[in-house]
Amino acid sequence: MTEAQAIKLAEQFIAQNGYTDLPPDKTKIAYETIEGGANVDETLKDRHDTLQRTAYGAVRGRKAGSAGWTVVFRCKHPADRNERSVGRAVTMNLDGGDARVEHVDFILRYARRRL
């Protein structure tokens, strides 16, 4: 999968999982590792409108150096300077499989800016 395809998939993924201002798809919810199988309505309430719809940047590779893609999103309503310097990342395999939102922040300067 190309970088552009990974970005498109990640943008769809965060929207369907309730991180943007768009309505989520409750049939396709993917939980973060720290969420487990939490109440879907509470999870979606906590996630709603927290990330910008379009990706900030991308990096080839996943956590711990494994093959794949990391697509980074800025927080939509950063509270302070620190929150403006970090975002959230969607990671996936090179073929787009095993997509997930990582529960740790991603330092934006480490992403290759898309814009």
In the chain, the percentage of residues whose pLDDT exceeds 70 is 95
Which own/partner pairs from 21-27 qualify as long-range (CB within 8 Å, at least 24 positions apart)?
A: 21/48, 21/49, 21/53, 21/76, 22/53
Among 18, 42, 46, residue whose Cα is nearest residue 30 = 18
Q: Over 70: is that where the pLDDT of 37 sits?
A: no
- Contact by Cβ (8 Å): 89, 97: no
How would residue 36 be classed by pLDDT, with cut points 50, 70 and 90? low
For the full predicted model, state whether its pTM sits above 0.85: yes
In the chain, the percentage of residues whose pLDDT exceeds 90 is 66
The C-alpha atoms of residue 24 and residue 53 are separated, in whole angstroms, by 12
Cα→Cα distances 77→10, 20, 38, 58, 100, Å = 20, 11, 24, 21, 21
> What are the tens digits of pLDDT across the range 57-76?
999 999 878 899 999 999 99
> What are the tens digits of pLDDT across the range 85-94?
999 999 999 9
